[in-house]
Amino acid sequence: MPGSRIAALGHHQPARVLTNDDLATMVDTSDEWIRRRTGIATRRIAAPDESVTDLAAAAAAKALAGAGLDPADIGLVTVATCTAIDRCPSIAAQVAARLGIPAAVAFDLNNGCAGFCTALAVADHSVRAGAARHALVIGAEKMSDVTDWTDRSTCVLLGDGAGAAVLSASDEAGIGPVAWGSDPTRGDAVRLVDEWQPRFAQEGQAVFRWATSELPAVARQACALAGLTPADLGGIVTHQANLRIIEALVRQLDLPEHVVVAQDVVESGNTSAASVPLALSKLVDRGDLPSGAPVLLFAFGGGLSWAGQVVTAP
């Protein structure tokens, strides 16, 4: 099979909106500080009984309905997440059970914030190899479970949510070759500390410097692998960590004004592996990305790791 394409997308966010002013009643911070340093205005926080599986299944159900497929058509389900409490059965297996997907290979994939783009490449490779005709690729996180709500330097950044894509075998490749890798020597820069009560921790400035100095070259490489330059893109959806990182990447890639830049971090905060599919699905839903447009997906984070590819908007 020459390739796969995104047939449909879906996303889901919890109902509760947590504003910067709400956070200012919990820790010593302000709406002004958070907006100026991160661009974030709000984030969604799941209810205590709302699990990663609930978020993932809701997004996946929308993508499956959008693709007009029968659950039995899906041959592969993968959930990119680093906040799954359940280790076995996997979140993917639980989503398959909820959606009535009878016989797919189902597995979780943890590559931190780069998880969704990594999972998308793995699913694309599986379709190319003939191991599945249709795949469900999901990014889902309940970051609020691993947030230290007394630490103002991290609790203002994180949010919960999920995004999903259905990939279908296609004569025309709609998922470009992946540019991916890791720098394990800097693994301590982003981590979940304390195995029994995990909390998100990072070297914020080091991650910021890495993302803005070393990653633009990788983003260019992902475009080149698809036979494009950044100026040929119709849109760019990077990991939604911080608006200042997104703006710096856009500047360094010299993107012309017509390129649509995802800025979902403003309303959703950093949702780790969910951020790319969540932002992409919202752009498509709003009609901001024309069908057929080449879009660079580019994610990075814990590992340190990165993964990106040019996809064709559904």
Q: Which of 19, 153, 197, 213 binds ligand ACO (CB under 6 A)?
A: 153
Contact segment (CB under 6 A) with ligand ACO among 31-39, 42-50, 56-64, 65-73 equals 31-39
In the beta sheet, which residues pair with residue 301?
305
**Burial status of residue 9 (CB atoms within 10 A of its CB: 0-12, 13-18, 19 or more):** buried
Question: 110 catalytic, yes or no?
Answer: no
The tokens describing 230, both together, are: 């950044």
Contact pattern for ligand ACO over residues 188 through 227, marking x by CB under 6 A: --x-----------x-xx-xx--x----------------
Tokens of 50: 């709302």
Stretch that binds ligand ACO, among 33-41, 52-60, 103-111, 132-140 (CB under 6 A): 33-41
Tell me the pairing of strands 76-80 and 235-238: unpaired
Residues 6 or more apart whose CB falls under 8 angstroms from that of 194 comprise none
Our answer to whether residue 223 is catalytic in this structure is no
Quote the radius of gyration of the chain (alpha carbons, Å): 18
Amino acid identity, position 202:
Q
Q: Are strands 305-312 and 179-182 parallel, antiparallel or unpaired?
A: antiparallel
Q: How far is the CB of 176 from ligand ACO (least distance, A)?
A: 23
**How many secondary structure helices (H) and strands (E) does the chain include?**
11, 14
Closest to ligand ACO by CB, 176 vs 180, is 180
Interaction between residue 16 and ligand ACO (CB under 6 A): no
Q: Least separation, in Å, of the C-beta of 177 and ligand ACO?
A: 24
Q: In the complex, what is the shortest distance from the CB of residue 170 to ligand ACO, in angstroms, rounded to a whole number?
A: 31
Of the residues 113, 117, 155, 223, which is catalytic? 113
Closest CA to 146 of 25, 245, 216, 46: 46
Write phi, then psi, for 40 (nearest 5 degrees): -75, 135
Binders of ligand ACO among 295-314, rule CB under 6 A? 301-302
Catalytic annotation present for 239:
yes
Q: Which residues are catalytic?
A: 113, 239, 270
Binding site for ligand ACO (CB under 6 A): 29, 33-34, 37-38, 113, 152-153, 156, 190, 202, 204-205, 207-208, 211, 241-242, 245, 270, 272, 301-302
